[in-house]
Amino acid sequence: MPVYLDHAATTPISGPALAALIHELSRSGNPSSLHGSGRRARAVVEQARETLAAAAGAHPSEVIFTSGGTEADNLAVKGLFWARRAADPARTRILVSSVEHAAVQDTVAWLEKHEGAEVVWLPVDGDGVLRLDALKAELDGGAESVALVTVMWANNEVGTVQPIAGVTALAAGHGIPVHSDAVQAFGSIPVGFDSSGLAAMSVSGHKIGGPVGVGALLLGRAVKLVPVQHGGGQERDVRSGTLDTASIAAFAAAAQDAVGHLAAESARIAALRDALIAGVRATVPDAVLRGTDPGRNPAGRLPGNAHFTFPGCEGDSLLFLLDMAGVESSTGSACTAGVPRPSHVLLAMGLSEETARGAQRFSLGHTSVPVDVEKFIAALPDAYARARQAGMASHMSNIQTASTQR
């Protein structure tokens, strides 16, 4: 079995979630049907809604089940933008952090291109923390034109936890709704929707031990949203489509399990992560931890996240060599076509393209054990040495060939 250090991408399904999934998959019934089978399925969905709401610190009626985090982000950002602009055509500005996941980043960019949205990318500091002063300046300078603010709860690449309370406090002063992508934070650190002051919050099943293909948007009861997807009017008429009873039940079971064990698990995982960071620093002193140093501010970083840049290496060389050595990691950036590009998160944090090319994310989760860290640290020095030797070959080549001669 390889050492799996990519829990931020997806984490293995938890026992309770798998049990719930299998149990519900073997049964039938559309939760919208009015007969006995339908009522039974509906009861499962409503039970799951209550369970998830409790885990997320929300009211059950605030839970809109979706197909995952990406859909929740699309629904929140587009839906809020459209609803706010419809109510007041002057509200066309979106204030968004410059370190968002592609699900928010690309949605905002789409609104800019196709819906006339004016986008303000809010800067972050060197650790990737949103600059609240920049948000304040934008709000003070023209809050009446702002449709919404969207800032992720915690970053998927460098694990930096954002000052969500500060964001909502600033926006509340102007009555502006705030959305937060909490896909990485939920189940990993304490997240409470109702106490956060957020209008909308995205969560995902498979990042917390649930199945892939299910997620939810937590949406304040008074918040108006224009739907993206039309049909049978399920989920408060905001998200049409037959409810996926089995996945929803499994998602709720995973959420209950993750949040129920959060205090103990986050401490256990953070200790493993700290050992990993210490191991990397001991074996490759040149490696630089990116994001908030947990030694300085433990609450400023997700417990399972470690992220480094390795000078003189390309991230994909390191990923390849670790993969061949049985350690699964990530360059930490989006790669739909499998094409690694310098991370926009690292660039926003002020790193150069060249430094950003040497990025590698190691993320731990509920199945991680100390031997994983030990095996990784044992494999790292050789991988690093070789990757370093390969250097920036795909970036700049020193090989002499026919045309390089005079």
Partner 1 sequence: MRVLAAMSGGVDSAVAAARAVDAGHDVVGVHLALSRMPGTLRTGSRGCCTVEDSNDAWRACDKLGIPYYVWDFSERFKEDVVQDFIDEYAAGRTPNPCMRCNERIKFAALLEKALALGFDAVCTGHYAKVVDDGNGNKELHRAADWAKDQSYVLGVLTHEQLQHSMFPLADTPSKAEVRAEAERRGLSVAKKPDSHDICFIPDGDTAGWLAEKIEMSTGDIVDESGTKVGEHPGANAFTVGQRRGLKLGTPAADGKPRFVLEIRPKENKVVVGPQALLAVDEIRGIKLSWAGVPIPAAVPGPVAEPRSVVDPVGDEPVGHEPARTRADGTTCGSVSEEFDCYAQVRAHGDPVPARACVEVTADDDGGLREELLVTLIEPLRGVSPGQTVVLYQGTRVLGQATIDTARSLARPAL
Binding site for partner 1 (CB under 8 A): 316-317, 319-321, 323-324, 335-341, 386-387, 389-391, 393-399, 401-403, 405-406
Active-site annotation holder among 172, 278, 335, 369: 335
Measured from the CB of residue 123, what is the shortest distance to partner 1 in angstroms?
Answer: 24
Cα 311 to its chain centre, rounded Å, is 26
3-state secondary structure the chain: CCEECECCCCCCCCHHHHHHHHHHHCCCCCCCCCCHHHHHHHHHHHHHHHHHHHHHCCCHHHEEEECCHHHHHHHHHHHHHHHHHHHCCCCCEEEEECCCCHHHHHHHHHHHHHCCCEEEEECECCCCCECHHHHHHHHHCCHHHEEEEECCCECCCCCEECCHHHHHHHHHCCCCCEEEECCCCECCECCCHHHHCCCEEEEECCCCCCCCCCEEEEECCCCCCCCCCCCCCCCCCCCCCCCCHHHHHHHHHHHHHHHHCHHHHHHHHHHHHHHHHHHHHHHCCCCEECCCCCCCCHHHECCCEEEEECCCCCHHHHHHHHHHCCEECECCCCCCCCCCCCCHHHHHCCCCHHHHHCEEEEECCCCCCHHHHHHHHHHHHHHHHHHHHHCCCCCCCCCCCHHHCC
Measured from the CB of residue 251, what is the shortest distance to partner 1 in angstroms?
Answer: 30
Question: In the complex with partner 1, which residue's Cβ is closer, 87 or 393?
Answer: 393
Q: Is 313 annotated in the active site?
A: no
Question: In the complex with partner 1, which residue's Cβ is closer, 369 or 393?
Answer: 393
Question: In the complex with partner 1, which residue's Cβ is closer, 110 or 320?
Answer: 320
Task: Tell which residue, 114, 35, 103, has the closest CA to residue 72.
Answer: 103
Bridging pattern class, strands 93-97 and 146-150: parallel
Measured from the CB of residue 314, what is the shortest distance to partner 1 in angstroms?
Answer: 8
Question: In the complex with partner 1, which residue's Cβ is closer, 222 or 339?
Answer: 339
What the block records as the tokens of 374 is 């030990």
Measured from the CB of residue 211, what is the shortest distance to partner 1 in angstroms?
Answer: 23
Question: In the complex with partner 1, which residue's Cβ is closer, 166 or 391?
Answer: 391
Measured from the CB of residue 106, what is the shortest distance to partner 1 in angstroms?
Answer: 13
Q: Which residues contact 116 (CB under 8 A, 6 or more apart)?
A: 92
Question: In the complex with partner 1, which residue's Cβ is closer, 36 or 338?
Answer: 338
CA-atom Rg of the chain in angstroms = 22
Measured from the CB of residue 319, what is the shortest distance to partner 1 in angstroms?
Answer: 8
**What backbone torsions phi and psi does residue 285 show, to the nearest 5 degrees?**
-60, -20
Question: In the complex with partner 1, which residue's Cβ is closer, 2 or 350?
Answer: 2
Measured from the CB of residue 347, what is the shortest distance to partner 1 in angstroms?
Answer: 14
Which residues are known catalytic residues?
335
